[in-house]
């Protein structure tokens, strides 16, 4: 995304008739927050003088540090295309800073920037191409979201079967107006499920764009009378939605994952091994909701075991060769509920840990894992991903790399809030339980 100077932004705002500025930031759990200021306060905001009280944001601010400052990243300035032409609205993504100007330790964007700076000192740059999946459902007469859709379209279907095609097209045109490079879009396997893919970009720009993408998709869908949801598994009977990440690591402009003969390199295998070695501990971040684990089950095109493969697309890590572009690694377990800043920071740090230690990958999966019994998986020492959020949180606390990358304060606060969520879920009496037991027992 083009970087602007302060004077250029002020000129654009005046010429375009912008009247409000949204100062946006991401909380601990990957939710986009914002403060809106009138254009008369823009210069003050651009000088990092917009204070915010985060005391009411769960898990974000310590009691002694509730008043913090928003520091706009000028490179993220954009005018929101869906706002009215009269009274336009622009936005910045912001870093959260303390009173002395230092970046706040519980800021997810800071955690990714810190990981990227560390990698840069070693000569590495991470580029990412995300595949974002979501559902477009109807709302009821009161505008309340449902999980109902009248379409029956499947994988790669087109209109008139794909009833969401016009909405998806409008989303893409909007994103392109905001500077996105969209490589493809299509209908996914489940009815009402869609996918939009971005071009490779540096990791920070990718994380910023994933956050903005979710806001744009929901906004455009609402214009069409639909509700867009990134919930990992909104319906029991169909595939869930994921956030597949294609990653490549560059050093001096060269793709480190590609050997001289065009295959997976030694460093590529070590990076892969590093992620596989820590993925269980990272799963509470990759899949942060109770609902996330209802997607990670066999039979629904999502990985449930720690595997890698060149040939099996249902592996957790899929090694892909692109014509003319070399090798990239596709991580298939995360979902769009994940905080993209934490997700990419952990992937990078785990992968570089693998390179540093020159780790060897476990045996490659060469057959459909769905055909293997539990005993066969055990014999081959194939580890399973955590089966629920509670197990994932336990694994998170035991992974030293996760604690180092995120910081002890972050992990402690994250676990506290997520354990509360998990406990609340366990205490629910569900419709299924009532149907099974109310008349029987």
Q: What does the pLDDT read at residue 104?
A: 86
Q: What does the pLDDT read at residue 11?
A: 94
Report whether 70 contacts 46 (CB < 8 A).
Answer: no
Q: What does the pLDDT read at residue 1?
A: 45
Q: What does the pLDDT read at residue 150?
A: 83
Q: What does the pLDDT read at residue 103?
A: 83
Q: What does the pLDDT read at residue 106?
A: 87
Rounded distance between C-alpha atoms, residue 21 and residue 35, angstroms: 8
Domains of the chain: 6-104 (3.10.20.70), 114-426 (3.30.590.10)
Q: What does the pLDDT read at residue 282?
A: 99
**Structure token pair of residue 216:** 């744009």
pLDDT along the chain (441 residues), means of 10: 80 94 94 93 87 73 69 95 86 90 88 97 98 95 88 79 87 95 92 95 98 97 95 95 98 94 96 98 98 94 95 94 90 98 99 97 91 88 96 98 96 96 97 95 92
């Amino acid at each position: 995304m083009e970087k602007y100077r302060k004077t250029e932004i002020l000129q654009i705002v005046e010429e375009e008739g912008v009247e409000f500025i949204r100062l946006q930031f991401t909380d601990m759990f990957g939710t986009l927050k914002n403060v809106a200021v009138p254009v008369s306060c823009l210069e003050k905001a651009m000088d990092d003088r917009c204070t915010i009280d985060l005391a009411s944001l769960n898990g974000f601010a310590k009691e002694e540090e509730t008043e913090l400052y928003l520091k706009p990243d000028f490179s993220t300035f954009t005018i929101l295309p869906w706002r009215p032409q009269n009274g336009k609205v622009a936005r910045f993504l912001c870093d959260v800073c303390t009173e002395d100007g230092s970046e706040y330790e519980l800021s997810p964007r800071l955690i990714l920037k810190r990981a990227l700076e560390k990698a840069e000192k070693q000569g590495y740059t991470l580029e990412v191409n995300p595949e974002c999946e979501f559902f477009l459902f109807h709302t009821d007469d009161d505008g309340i979201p449902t999980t109902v859709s009248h379409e029956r379209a499947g994988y790669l279907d087109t209109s008139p079967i794909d009833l969401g095609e016009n909405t998806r097209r409008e989303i893409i045109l909007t994103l392109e107006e905001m500077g996105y490079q969209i490589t493809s879009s299509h209908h996914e396997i489940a009815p009402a499920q869609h996918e939009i893919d971005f071009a490779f970009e540096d990791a920070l720009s990718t994380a910023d764009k994933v956050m903005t993408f979710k806001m744009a998709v929901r906004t455009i869908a609402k214009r069409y009378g639909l509700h867009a949801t990134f919930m990992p598994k909104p319906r029991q009977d169909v595939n869930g939605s994921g956030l597949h990440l294609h990653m490549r690591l560059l050093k001096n402009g060269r793709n480190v994952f590609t050997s001289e003969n065009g295959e997976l390199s030694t460093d590529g295998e070590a990076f892969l091994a590093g992620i596989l070695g820590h993925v269980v501990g990272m799963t509470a971040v990759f899949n942060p909701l109770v609902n996330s684990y209802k997607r990670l089950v066999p039979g629904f095109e999502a990985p449930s075991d720690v595997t890698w493969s060149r040939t099996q697309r249902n592996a957790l890590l899929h090694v892909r060769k692109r014509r003319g572009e070399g090798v990239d690694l596709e991580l298939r377990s995360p979902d769009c509920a994940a905080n993209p800043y934490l997700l990419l920071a952990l992937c990078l740090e785990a992968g570089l840990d693998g390179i540093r230690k020159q780790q060897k990958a476990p045996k490659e999966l060469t057959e459909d894992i769905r055909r293997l019994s539990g005993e066969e998986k055990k014999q081959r020492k194939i580890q399973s991903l955590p089966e629920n959020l509670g197990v994932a949180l336990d694994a998170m606390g035991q992974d030293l790399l996760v604690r180092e990358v995120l910081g002890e304060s972050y992990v402690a606060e994250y676990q506290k809030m997520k354990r509360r969520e998990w406990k609340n879920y366990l205490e629910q009496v569900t419709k299924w339980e009532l149907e099974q037991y109310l008349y029987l027992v």
